[in-house]
Amino acid sequence: MKSLLKNKILRKDSDVAVNLMGRLVIEYGPLNAQNKEQSETSGCPKAALTLKSVKLRHAQGIHNVAGEKDHSALLSPEFFDAPLSPLGCQQVTNLRNYVLASGLLKRIDLVITSPLLRSMQTAVEIFGSEESGLERPPIVAIELCRERLGVHPCDKRRTISQYRNLFPEIDFSWSDDDILWKADARETSEEIAARGLKFMNWLWTRQEREIAVVSHSKFLLYTLSALPIDCHPSLRSEICKQFENSELRSLMMVDKR
């Protein structure tokens, strides 16, 4: 279980100061009781507006399996909007058990997911489907947090009409067709980072205070790397390194303005 979650325990005093448009990310680390104790004793003003964001990369997709063997396989139409692999389904089950046992499911106010099949499968199965009978947070699909756009068929989505039939639990609210993905142009790292910062600032428009984000390796990598993190370089490298499939990380942000 621990190896599948791949949470990296940095050290007991692994607080992080991050300036994001006048706001601070003050804590970073794995999801556990210790984080809760640290946040309660971190010295932040109780009146300050806080936002805890739980970042989760989707479980393993069939394109991940093929891409590890031959990266050029990601160009194949066979992997259009790739679903989870058998191992990915097992990772989802393990994570579902974890969020239930840890109490995380009860604390999450909102789940935001990329509108790609593998991310929505991960989000719905972990945080509860309508058929589960469990109380669940609302799930919203947002285009801003999808994977790097263009060229790779695995990163192109289906129509919203198709998705609504597959995932009645998810709130969709944009154009039916995928107008962002281009067959002949791959999104640059700078463009992903800009989109990621726009997404992070959009999070502050939400009233919910504890939000889970289910997204993708490149989006999470370039978004976190774009944040002006003020900390030791070794700690920054831990925060910004690429997510493994089904890996969870948490950020606590405080509005100091």
Which tens digits make up the pLDDT trace of 201-211?
A: 888 889 898 99
Class at the top of the CATH hierarchy for domain 2-7+58-255: alpha beta
pLDDT of residue 14: 32
**What residue type is assigned to position 179 of the chain?**
I
pLDDT band at 133 (very low <50, low <70, confident <90, very high): low
- In the predicted model, is pLDDT for residue 118 greater than 90? yes
- Are 167 and 130 spatial neighbours (Cβ–Cβ below 8 Å)? no
pLDDT of residue 52: 77
In angstroms, the CA 142 to CA 206 distance is 13
Indicate the range of 38-42, 71-75, 131-135 predicted with least confidence. 38-42
pLDDT of residue 134: 60
Catalytic (active-site) positions: 58, 147
Intra-chain end-to-end CA distance of the chain, in Å: 40
Paired tokens of 45: 């003003």
- In the predicted model, is pLDDT for residue 17 greater than 50? no
* Average pLDDT in the chain: 79
pLDDT band at 232 (very low <50, low <70, confident <90, very high): low
Question: What average pLDDT does the segment 220-236 reach?
Answer: 76
- In the predicted model, is pLDDT for residue 255 greater than 70? no
pLDDT digits (tens, 9 = 90+) for 68-100: 999 999 999 999 999 999 999 999 999 999 888
Question: What average pLDDT does the segment 190-217 reach?
Answer: 92
pLDDT digits (tens, 9 = 90+) for 137-153: 999 999 999 999 999 99
Which ranges of the chain would DSSP assign to H, the alpha helix?
2-5, 33-40, 62-69, 86-101, 104-107, 117-127, 160-166, 189-203, 217-226, 233-240
In angstroms, the CA 219 to CA 216 distance is 5
| Percent of the chain residues topping a pLDDT of 90 | 52
- In the predicted model, is pLDDT for residue 2 greater than 80? no
Indicate the range of 8-12, 92-96, 120-124, 248-252 predicted with least confidence. 8-12
- In the predicted model, is pLDDT for residue 26 greater than 80? no
pTM of this structure:
0.80
Question: What average pLDDT does the segment 157-179 reach?
Answer: 89
Place of tokens 């925060």: 239
In angstroms, the CA 247 to CA 91 distance is 10
